[in-house]
Amino acid sequence: MTQSGIKLYYKNATSEALDQEHGIGLDQLNAMGDRLTSSISKMNREEEDKPAYRSLPYDPDTPERVKELASNLQEQCENLVILGIGGSALGNIALQTALNPYMYNLDKSQRPGPRLFVLDNIDPEQMGSFLHWADDKLDKTVFNVISRSGRTTETVAQFMLVRHLLRHKFGDDGYQERVVITTNVSKAGALLQIAKKEKLACLEIPPGVGGRFSVLSAVGLFSAAMCGIDIDLLLAGARDMDTRVCCGEPLKNPAAIIAAINYYFYNHGKRISVMMPYSYQLKDLADWYRQLWAESLGKAEDLKASEVHVGPTPIKALGATDQHSQIQLYREGPNDKLFTFLQVNNFDRDCQIGPAPDSASELRFLAGKHLSTLLNSEKKATEYALLESKRPCLTVLFDRVDAYTVGQFIYLYEVATSFAGALFGVNPYDQPAVELGKEATFALMGKPGDEYEDFARKIRSVTDIDKAYLV
């Protein structure tokens, strides 16, 4: 077991580091923490109040089933393709970027498993380009189709496309060998029906685990295991974090502090929450967070059915790159953002800067230094500059980036989201507003039924182009 870990550092969001006007006081943080005490104990009880995702790191069966299936498939599989969208893709992408090398897909020597492609859209150009390449490689390609409901339109459409292709090329048996379905088996979604009828390998998503909380289920674990990621270590990290976020003293509980500080600043005019990793590997965890935070906390009604229209807007930025894109706005624009940096203390790989050319002696101070030193100096420089502009900053410190710390991070932010839901007084597990768009898509795609025909006419009356407004 690795000894590495992650820590939350919050001084630079407090009035101690900023001032009374711009930072949160410890008394205010304590008061917020008190409001969380009951939520913490409630969400830790072994009963209905405990969200389903919190059991995932303790599931004894899924990791074994996933590893067994992966080891059966790994030998014949040179390409693994995820067909999924949203919570059925973002976690997979985040794990892959965090725990496998940048050149994984291009460099066989850096790749312990198959190439991984996460096709989380229905773009015809993207899919067309991929299939053109894959055409003579389908023999050694496995498709993992992920949809919790088993009826996600985009995923089902992709699946129908690929199913037709594989059956045409390899017949029924060859098709079956190359498809793994991941879905909720307690609901009778289309994918489950098909999997049963057509005898496809099937991985279960436990009931009650929402898409955005599902990365530590078979949803995220299967592609990770296929690509050589240590899923046991990932889950061990999550379990370690579980003990820390169960702590009933809010100021010793990192998830409670994240929730409290975010909630405080939201109510003090900072409705934008920027997550800014100073690590290429962690960049897609910020994207995963973006869904988790937005979809869980962006709600029209609170738990008492009052209209509230709350929810911070999460933004992903990448250090040092986005210093050259966003920092001008972040420092001088409206003071409406809370910043959360992700910082890596020890990189597994490093690069040394060469000597300065004779014709540019002013560069000598960089010669012989390491990129890791430069990257972390830029993080501190940016944090310093933001503090000078009175902008609050949190940092999640990673001792190193490995499966253990990534498991810790995922679990930390999932629980922080639950706690933030409690403070905002909203249900962090539903997403009622996405239904209308789904129904509208059905209507426009010609789903049978009079109500859909009327609905399609209504939509077109709004979206058809009125040339008077076209320039």
Contacts with a copy of itself in 50-69 (CB under 8 A)?
none
What x/- string results for residues 393 through 432 when contact with a copy of itself is judged by CB under 8 A?
Answer: ----x---x-----------------------------xx
User: Strands 299-301 and 307-310, how do they pair?
Assistant: antiparallel
Contacts with a copy of itself in 219-238 (CB under 8 A)?
none
Annotated catalytic residue, options 108, 438, 453, 458: 438
Which is nearer to a copy of itself, 11 or 42 (by Cβ)? 11
Annotated catalytic residue, options 132, 168, 304, 324: 324
DSSP structure string for 1-25: -----EEEE-GGGBTTTS-TTTSB-
Does position 11 interact with a copy of itself (CB under 8 A)? The reply is yes
C-alpha 356/C-alpha 49 separation (Å) is 61
C-alpha 199/C-alpha 53 separation (Å) is 28
What x/- string results for residues 319 through 358 when contact with a copy of itself is judged by CB under 8 A?
Answer: -xx-xxxxxxxxxxxxxxx---------xxxxxxxxxxxx
Omega before 320 within 30 of 0, i.e. cis: yes
Contacts with a copy of itself in 72-91 (CB under 8 A)?
85-87, 89-90
Which is nearer to a copy of itself, 118 or 221 (by Cβ)? 118
Task: Single out the segment in contact with a copy of itself by CB under 8 A; choices: 3-11, 176-184, 202-210, 227-235.
Answer: 3-11
Residue 82: what are its φ and ψ, rounded to 5°?
-90, 125
Contacts with a copy of itself in 274-313 (CB under 8 A)?
279-281, 290-291, 294-295, 297-301, 309-311, 313
Active site residue 438: yes
Contacts with a copy of itself in 100-119 (CB under 8 A)?
101-107, 109-110
Listed in order, strand segments (DSSP E) in 42-168 are: 79-83, 115-119, 141-146
Active site residue 370: no
What x/- string results for residues 144 through 173 when contact with a copy of itself is judged by CB under 8 A?
Answer: -------xxxx-xx--xxxxxx--------
The sign of the CA dihedral 82, 83, 86, 87 is: negative
Query: How many residues lie near a copy of itself (CB under 8 A)?
Result: 166
C-alpha 255/C-alpha 347 separation (Å) is 25
Contacts with a copy of itself in 235-274 (CB under 8 A)?
251-254, 257, 271-272
In whole angstroms, how close is the CB of 207 to a copy of itself at the nearest point?
20
C-alpha 432/C-alpha 44 separation (Å) is 26
In whole angstroms, how close is the CB of 66 to a copy of itself at the nearest point?
23
Active site residue 295: yes
Assign 3-class secondary structure to 368-412.
CCEHHHHHHHHHHHHHHHHHHCCCCEEEEEEEECCHHHHHHHHHH
Residue type present at position 414: E
Look-up: residue for tokens 């933004």? Answer: 315
Catalytic residues: 295, 324, 438
